[in-house]
Amino acid sequence: MNLYVRVVSRHPPGGRCTLYADYAEVLAAYLDARTEIVLSTERDAHGSGFPSLLVNGLPVQPGDGVILMPADLCALLSGSGTGRSGAGRAGRGAGSAAAAHDGRRVRAGAAMTSARIVSAALAISSLFA
């Protein structure tokens, strides 16, 4: 399974940038994801600027349109996607967390066991404790 996670952050990182970097660290520890943190001055949340978390090149969209929650990542990793429209992203068309601009899809869920996803989900959820 190839899972590549990229976090787009500002320097110094703020709250969401720090949270998304923590998500990437958990995904690396539990799911053997390759991770990268890229610094940017472009403010484009959940797109190409900060704060953003991309899985296999696709920006993950928050269910509430503001902040990625563990459930958003779990939906993506389980292969179900969210089917959410990416509310709050002016100038962008509707799409799901699993859909890409060029038709590619994140296929991480097919190769992962439920136990690994649950372990990662619990670790991600513990970031909020």
- Predicted pLDDT at 96: 35
Helices (H) and strands (E) in the chain, counts: 4, 4
* Average predicted confidence (pLDDT) for the chain: 76
Is residue 98 within 8 Å of 79, Cβ to Cβ?
A: yes
Look up residue 64 and give its DSSP letter: T
| 60/53 Cα distance (integer angstroms) | 6
Under the banding of pLDDT at 50, 70 and 90, the label for residue 126 is confident
pLDDT-based confidence at 33, cuts 50/70/90? very high
Q: Is the predicted pLDDT of residue 80 greater than 60, yes or no? A: no
Cα 75 to Cα 49: distance, rounded to the nearest angstrom: 23
How much is the pLDDT for 61? 93
The pTM for the full model equals 0.71
Q: How far is Cα 30 from Cα 38, in angstroms, rounded to an integer?
A: 21
120: pLDDT confidence band, cut at 50, 70 and 90?
confident
Name the token pair of 50.
């900060």
Q: How confident is the model at residue 122 (pLDDT cuts 50, 70, 90)?
A: confident
Determine phi and psi for 20, rounding to 5 degrees.
-65, -35
Instruction: Tell me: pLDDT of 87 over 50.
Output: no
